[in-house]
Amino acid sequence: MNVARNLVSAVLMTVITTTILGLAYPLAVTGLAQVLFPAKANGQLIERNGTIVGSRLIGQAFSSPGYFRSRPSAAGTGYDAAHSAGTNLGPTNKKLIDAVRAAVEVAQRENPDAPVPIDLVTTSASGLDPHISPDAAAFQVTRVARERGMTEAAVRTLIAAHTVGRQLGFLGEPVVNVLELNLELDELHPLNPTSSMNSMSDTR
C-alpha cells in the first residue's frame, strides 16, 4: 500500500513540477521579455528598408574594402550561429601560429606602418563576436576613408561614436560594433549613389 501511495505521489510531483517549471515559468518569462524587452528578446535584429540586415549580437563577414572588417570566425563556415565555436587550437599549435602569421602579413600589406591588433588576426571563442576593438577599427581607417571619399578624421569620429565603453565602467574592454558602424557609413557616405542597405550583402 505504501508503494502505491509513493508511486502516486511521485507521479503527481512530476506532473506538477513539469507544469510549473517546464511550461508556466518559461511562458511567463518569455511573455515578460516580449513586453519589457522586445528587441533583446528577439535577437536585437537590425532592419533597414523593411529588410533584416543582421543582428547586433552576431558578427558577419565584410570583404569589400569600403567596409570595416569583423574579427575572423571559426564558427562553421564563418559566423554560423548553429555552429558557434573557436578553433580550440593551443597557443603553441603550429597550425594556429601559421594562420596568425599569414593573417598578419595580409594585414600589414594594407597598413605596413602600424602594429596589427590581435583581434584582426585571431578568432573569438564563440566565432560570433560582433565587435572589434577601437584599435582594430583605427587600423582600417585609411582604407575605408579612401574607398568612401572621406577624410580620416571623419571616419575616426564615426568610430568614436560607435565605441562602447567597459560595462559598469570596469568590466571588459571598449568595443566597436562592426555592423552598426558599417550601416552608418552606408547611410552617410555610400560607396556609390545607388548603394543601399538592401544591396549590402552584395557589396561586402
What are 123-137's pLDDT values in tens digits? 999 999 999 999 999
Tell me the C-alpha to C-alpha distance, in Å, between residue 107 and each of 61, 75, 103. 16, 21, 6
How would residue 4 be classed by pLDDT, with cut points 50, 70 and 90?
Answer: confident
Instruction: For residues 8 and 94, state if they share a domain.
Output: no
Instruction: For residues 76 and 26, state if they share a domain.
Output: no
- Average pLDDT over every residue of 95-110: 94
Instruction: For residues 22 and 59, state if they share a domain.
Output: no
CB 112 within 8 Å of CB 159: no
Instruction: For residues 136 and 183, state if they share a domain.
Output: yes
Q: Is the pLDDT of residue 85 over 70?
A: yes
Instruction: For residues 158 and 124, state if they share a domain.
Output: yes
Work out whether strand 163-164 and strand 175-177 pair parallel, antiparallel, or are unpaired.
antiparallel
Instruction: For residues 64 and 164, state if they share a domain.
Output: yes
Residues near 68 by beta carbon (within 8 Å), at least 6 away in sequence: 62, 132, 137, 140, 144, 176, 178, 181, 182, 185
Phi/psi for 167 (5° steps) reads -65, 130
pLDDT for res 39: 57
Instruction: For residues 14 and 114, state if they share a domain.
Output: no
Say what the pTM is.
0.77
Tell me the C-alpha to C-alpha distance, in Å, between residue 50 and each of 45, 114, 201. 12, 40, 15
Q: Is the pLDDT of residue 122 over 80?
A: yes
pLDDT for res 177: 97
Q: What is the dihedral of CA 164, 136, 59, 81, to 10 degrees?
A: -110
Question: pLDDT > 70: what percent of the chain?
Answer: 90
Instruction: For residues 30 and 131, state if they share a domain.
Output: no
Tell me the C-alpha to C-alpha distance, in Å, between residue 88 and each of 2, 95, 189. 54, 11, 39
Choice between 43 and 193, residue whose per-residue pLDDT is larger: 43
pLDDT for res 170: 86
How would residue 37 be classed by pLDDT, with cut points 50, 70 and 90?
Answer: low
* 166-201: pLDDT as tens digits: 988 889 899 999 999 999 999 999 986 544 443 454
Lowest mean pLDDT across 113-117, 141-145, 178-182, 195-199: 195-199
pLDDT for res 86: 87
Instruction: For residues 58 and 144, state if they share a domain.
Output: yes
* 5-22: pLDDT as tens digits: 888 888 889 999 999 989
Instruction: For residues 109 and 151, state if they share a domain.
Output: yes
- Give residue 170's domain range: 43-203
Instruction: For residues 23 and 68, state if they share a domain.
Output: no
CB 73 within 8 Å of CB 127: yes
pLDDT for res 40: 65
Looking at the structure of the chain, the number of domains it has is 2
CB 75 within 8 Å of CB 127: yes
CB atoms within 10 A of CB 79: 23
Instruction: For residues 11 and 107, state if they share a domain.
Output: no
